[in-house]
A = this chain, B = another copy of it.
């Protein structure tokens, strides 16, 4: 029961390795060596590799999504007080900002940002199941509020545009401050505030654009 430093060391090491190498490619031996604990410690403290993976998401994604839900609720309540519906920009900000700005920029949180970015896409069954369970309630609220904010858009358009935003955010979380992507010319790393504003503006413009303005191909 005690605080068990070992448990935290395992969580931190595994978070970093899963982010860098992926779930499948990371072995228990790699985790325990990096955490400088015994090989058997993971099974003792967590039960299995899969349970460890789940614990990592519970530790960070759950509180992150709670923050997002709380902000969405505040936005909704505030708008209602004025008899309005929430602005698209505020909804998207509540979704994007907490994901890119963890309170502290400690290493663990940078690792986890990368891990989430990867998990949005990675279809490893283990990852997907855990990830979806934690994301689903938030997605439901997002789709609902975006529909209210943009009543002229059909539900399909809302759904897909929300997916586009999710993809853009995932890509950003995946490459921002990620040493593996230094080969791309990200030599101009912006500060996180600019990046957040940049993505929000992009997302708002895309989300609010009128439909049906097709154009001939090629």
Contacts and interface: CB of A to CB of B under 8 A. Distances in A.
Interface residues of A, number: 67
Contact of A206 (B71, B89, B122, B206): B206
A190 B24 contact: no
A79 interface: no
Interface in A89-108: 89, 93, 97
Interface in A164-218: 164-172, 174-175, 178, 180, 183-186, 188, 190, 195, 197-199, 201-209, 211, 213-215, 217-218
Interface in A104-140: 114, 117-118, 120-125, 128, 132, 139
Given A120-B121, A164-B199, A167-B171, 13 more contacts: A21-B124, A93-B218, A97-B217, A123-B180, A156-B190, A157-B198, A159-B186, A160-B172, A160-B198, A161-B198, A163-B172, A167-B170, A201-B213
